[in-house]
Amino acid sequence: MKTESFPKMHVSLYVKDIEKTANFYTQFFGKDVEKMRPGYVKFHLENPALVISFVENQDEVSPMFGHLGFQVQTTEELNSRLEAVKTLGLPTLEEKGTNCCYAKQDKFWVSDPDGYRWEVYQFHEDVEWNDPQYQTESEACCSPKMMVEPAAEKEPCCDPSGGCC
C-alpha cells in the first residue's frame, strides 16, 4: 500500500515557563506566535511544514529525549542563521566538518529555556565513520558532550556527574 506524505508535521513539548518559551521561539524561528493561551503557545512554520506547540507542565519537562533540527542547503544559509541567533544573543555551540550520524556536516546548536536542543546543519556527504566523540553507541548521532546551557538559564540543566551534560 502506497501512502502519501503527511502535509505538515506536529510536535508538542512540555515547558516550565510559557512566556520564556514564547520569547525564545519568536526569536529563534523569526516568526510571531500563532496562538497563545494561558499555559499554551503555538507556532506554524511553512518551510519546513511544522506546527509546534508548547504546553506549560513543569512536572513533564524532559529535554533529554534527543534533539530537534533543521537542515539547510547552503553554507550561506547556515552562516546567515548562525549570525541571526548570535545577534539575538542566543548561546550556540558550533561544529564544522563534523562526522556524526554517519554524515559529514557543518552545524550549530542552540538550546531553549528548558534545555531542548536544536541542531541547524548543512549535510555535505555520507561517511562510513563518526568522529571519536560520537563513537559510543549512546552518542552515535549528534549528541555533543558539551552543550550550551539553556537560554535564559544560569544553572546547568542537570547534574554534570550524571552523564548528560
pLDDT tens over the chain, length 165 residues = 577 778 889 999 999 999 999 999 999 999 999 999 999 999 999 999 999 999 999 999 987 778 899 999 999 999 999 999 999 999 899 999 888 778 889 999 999 999 999 999 999 988 877 766 665 554 545 656 445 444 444 344 444 444 433
Cβ-defined contacts of 124-129 (< 8 Å, 24+)? 126/102, 127/99, 127/102, 127/103, 128/102, 129/99, 129/102
The pLDDT value recorded for residue 54 is 97
Q: What's the burial of 29, exposed, middle or buried (CB within 10 Å: 0-12/13-18/19+)?
A: middle
The pLDDT value recorded for residue 98 is 87
Measured distance CA(51)–CA(53) in Å, rounded: 7
With contact defined as beta carbons under 8 Å apart, do 146 and 129 qualify?
no
Q: What's the burial of 119, exposed, middle or buried (CB within 10 Å: 0-12/13-18/19+)?
A: buried
The pLDDT value recorded for residue 131 is 66
pTM: 0.75
With contact defined as beta carbons under 8 Å apart, do 53 and 42 qualify?
yes
With contact defined as beta carbons under 8 Å apart, do 97 and 104 qualify?
yes
Domains along the sequence of the chain with CATH: 10-56 (3.10.180.10), 65-152 (3.10.180.10)
Instruction: Find, among 59, 36, 52, 62, the residue nearest to 158 by Cα.
Output: 62
The pLDDT value recorded for residue 12 is 96
H or E segment and range at residue 92: strand 92-100
Which amino acid is it at 143? Answer: S
Nine-digit cell string for 12? 508538542
